[in-house]
Amino acid sequence: MTKILLTGANGFIARELSVKLTDKKFKLVLAVRQRSSFFSKSALQVEVGDLTSDTDWSEPLDSVSVVIHTAARVHVMNDSALDPLTEFRRVNLEGTVNLAKQAAEAGVKRFIFLSSIKVNGEATKVGTPFTADDVPAPRDAYGISKAETEQALLDLSAATDMEVVIVRPVLVYGPNVKANFLDMMHWLSKGIPLPFGAINNKRSLIALDNLVDLIITCVDHPAAANQIFLASDGEDISTTELLQKISLSLKQKPRLIPVSSKVLCMVAGLIGKRGLARRLIGSLQVDITKTKNVLNWHPPLNLDDALKKTVQSFLQQQKK
């Protein structure tokens, strides 16, 4: 039986991963900051503290053959750190490389690293998606730290017997999603008029179920070794269309005011929300042809059904 170490186990993605890995009868070790009653009793929880360059991984790595590494210092808007790049490197680069080196020394066969589409860049032109073979072009501290970590892992793989698999997801949504996606559902559920009725961008998203399925595919697929994969639903959508679909799932009439993108950008700049505006107005598309062909993988959940599942979870939470 394959024994897997899952880091960042209390996170949005890893929690669902833990459920699906348990369902598939993998032997699971969960690296957590604090033990939780959420997880199956069959999974071993190990408290490891912060992800740093001197974290001791000897106990959780015992007899492990695959590491799925989701723990990270995540990207946040308006980062308050005095030197964000140093902080991101300390956790995402140095902490990850420390784990990976100990994993290779412990005889781990495969290290799956959850990276970010920010390694490719921040935006695309409509119809010109990012690909897995593009030269990395990160623009912010988070993306730079992820790109540097990817290269360090590939270098380590070349020098050891441990295989590395890198997965770069776009924006992940699904039950219990937080941040901007949750805010959008709150706004729409209250019938608040939003000035996003005329946005003709294209954005790739990925449902939590689809990302989890892809990561599990990478656990033992022989063709995944030392590859980089982009992850999305394989369907692109405009912000206006997304808000309309969410509204329909909420059984609300969408109240979207057609305001031009130029005006929205100008207003956002005046109120210090340029970054948020870029995400709502700009395009970011990815091409997952390589992911599909190399792994013979297809997203099991289509975008409409995934959005309905996300909204149903949101409505259930609202009743509590």
Catalytic residues: 142
CA distance 282 to 103: 39
DSSP H or E run through 235: none
The closest of 183, 175, 197, 178 to 281, measured between CA atoms, is 197
Pairing outcome for strands 203-207 and 236-237: antiparallel
Backbone phi, then psi, for 165, in 5-degree steps?
Answer: -125, 130
**Cα dihedral: 221, 2, 93, 57 (round 10):** -170
For residue 57, give both structure tokens. 């991984």
Helix/strand/coil percentages in the chain, nearest 5: 40, 15, 40
